[in-house]
Amino acid sequence: MPPCFDQIENIDKQSYHSANNVKGGFVATRIECDKGHRDYRGCRINAREISRHKMQSCSRYSAKEHYVVSHYYPYDKTEVEWEVISVYAPFSATGAEHKGWDPMIFLMKNRNSNEKVVWPYYWTKNRYGKWANGQFPPLLKLGQLKQALNKFEANS
């Protein structure tokens, strides 16, 4: 099952993992405004929108919208909510469509601790030509990403 689900609001994570024999976590995404209205547009669509410009205002309440990513970690049965601050997409939508893969880097903030992390992610076209999720990559602290980039630069 892909790690990014759309159109789910209340899911019993234990039942889902047991019924589908899933050993890893998953990611649910949503758009929500300051007044609590939620919208479950596709996660790739949201990321593309944020990479081009900031979030729109809520169509129902004209309140500020937030792109929220919930990571569920089954090992310790915790869920962490991240708010997407920015998205870097190296390809245009047309370029990604032509190449058949769409990598992005998310800058996200933990909604409880305000810790910032970098989340590399990508979508790829499956054998039917439909967009599907790539592998589930790790979250990196900004310092960890800088260290990695410095190490790569020193070794090149």
Per-residue pLDDT averaged across 121-150, rounded? 82
Does residue 105 contact residue 88 with C-beta atoms inside 8 Å?
yes
Q: What is the mean pLDDT of the chain?
A: 76
Q: Is the pLDDT score of 141 beyond 90?
A: no
Structure tokens at 37: 């209205």
Task: List CB contacts of 43: < 8 A, sequence separation 6 or more.
Answer: 4, 6, 27, 29, 69
Does residue 64 contact residue 33 with C-beta atoms inside 8 Å?
yes
Cα 50 to Cα 24, 40, 55, 74, 115: the distances in Å are: 27, 15, 6, 29, 20
Model pLDDT, residue 1? 30
State the residue for tokens 């599907």.
Answer: 132
Model pLDDT, residue 87? 87
More confident: 137 or 128:
128
- Name beta bridge partners: 66: 32
Is residue 128 very low, low, confident or very high in pLDDT (cuts 50, 70, 90)? very high
Per-residue pLDDT averaged across 124-145, rounded? 81
Q: Is 100 helix (H, G, I), strand (E, B) or coil?
A: coil
Q: Is 107 helix (H, G, I), strand (E, B) or coil?
A: strand
Q: Is the dihedral of CA 73, 100, 44, 48 positive or negative?
A: positive
List, for residues 100-120, the tens digit of each pLDDT value. 988 888 889 999 999 988 888
Structure tokens at 39: 């919208």
Per-residue pLDDT averaged across 5-20, rounded? 39
How far is C-alpha 149 from the geometric centre of its chain's CA atoms?
22
